[in-house]
Amino acid sequence: MRKKRVLQAAFGLENAVVEGVDVDEVAVALIVSVRPTAKARHWCGRCGRRSPGYDRGGGRRRWRALDLGTCRVFLEGDAHRVACRDHGPTVAAVPWARHGAGHTRDFDDQAAWLAVHVSKSAVGALLRVAWRTVGAIVARVGADIDAKVDRLDGLVRIGIDEISYKRGYRYLTVVVDHDSGRLVWAAPGRDTATLNGFFDALGTERAARITHVTADMAGWIATVVSRRAPNARRCADPFHVVAWAGDALDVERRRAWNEASGRRRIDMTKRTQNRGAFGDARKIRKARYALWKNPDNLTVNQRHQLEWVAMSIPPLDGHLI
């Protein structure tokens, strides 16, 4: 009896009874026979409503559990069916796995957690499952969470942006909650129809509570936000502000380099007058990273480069202020 309780705790089996343990020499795996407790039986696997029994279904089936060291583990139990009044004959729910899954809840949860931090290929190699299986597990766990948690509840300050994937040929529109710092919504595409899908899910009442929206200068975002979130103040997010400032700084640096190197066609008299003001083109080119870096991260040499820029190129120094 003590051994069964140890196994029950080791595999996270709640509302389940361990009937026995065997070794499958063909599959090189540990097989743990389990059954639900009396109170966990006869529940519809789709809606969770208690229902009368229907038949024995397809007999016994197996669910992949977390490995025990280097040994694979499977839970084996009966797959009875119940007569649900809404869904008809349906496989009864089991406490250790989600409906229709071939893996236990603990296995699914661990695979989904790993998929957030490493690639699908790494997760598949570690857990010894197929790459596509990892994607199916992530979708299953995500749907389970979405059914229990409203990610869009309490949104006040949000950020909207698009990200590219598949070598930049495809895009996702993403929405983040600035108060929690979490991603709350994402969908393929980057157009008004895609963003309208977010506000459709949010609803008119909750959209009216949004006070601030950060985004880039994309017109399709501004159009939708002004119409669907009329009370929100549109702001430029810090990332794009810094990016725009960096681009402007680089444009000015290239202009100074062109004039110093004589690449721009200007009057010879003006070029002679500006030669001392704009300095050596090579120094301007080497000052590129000094202009980009934060003051606290500058090396001694880069600080000297900025001092030279301030004395030799007043227009470029003005962009640093």
For range 222-230, the mean pLDDT: 93
Distant-in-sequence, close-in-space partners of 164: CB < 8 Å, separation ≥ 6: 170, 171, 172
Q: Which of these, 30, 39, 25, 24, lies nearest to 11 by C-alpha position? A: 30
What's the one-letter identity of residue 296? D
Residue 212, phi then psi, degrees to nearest 5: -140, 140
Per the CB < 8 A criterion, the answer to whether 91 and 42 are in contact is no
Quick one: tokens of 8?
């029950």
Examine the pLDDT at 245 and tell me if it is beyond 70: yes
Query: What CATH number labels 157-236?
Result: 3.30.420.10
Tell me which DSSP letter residue 263 carries. Answer: -
The ranges assigned to domains in the chain are 1-97, 103-149, 157-236, 239-320
In this prediction, residue 205 has a pLDDT band, given cuts at 50, 70 and 90, of very high
Which tokens is 306 given?
Answer: 């900025």
Q: Residue 310: which pLDDT band, with cuts at 50, 70 and 90?
A: low
| Range 291-308 burial, b when 16+ CB lie within 10 A, else e | beeeeeeeeeebeebbeb
Q: Rounded to two decimals, what is the model's pTM?
A: 0.68
Q: Provide the residue type at 166 as one letter.
A: K
Per-residue confidence (pLDDT) for residue 319, from 0 to 100:
47
pLDDT in tens, 97-144: 999 899 999 999 999 999 999 999 999 999 999 999 999 999 999 999
pLDDT of residue 27: 78
Counting residues of the chain whose pLDDT is more than 70, the rounded percentage is 83
Query: Which one is predicted more confidently, 173 or 286?
Result: 173
Banded model confidence at residue 313, pLDDT cuts 50, 70, 90: low
pLDDT of 264-304, one tens digit each? 444 445 445 454 444 456 666 667 666 767 777 777 777 77
| pLDDT at residue number 243 | 80
Cβ atoms of 158 and 210 closer than 8 Å: yes
Calculate helix-pair angle for 131-148, 105-117, nearest 10 degrees. 100
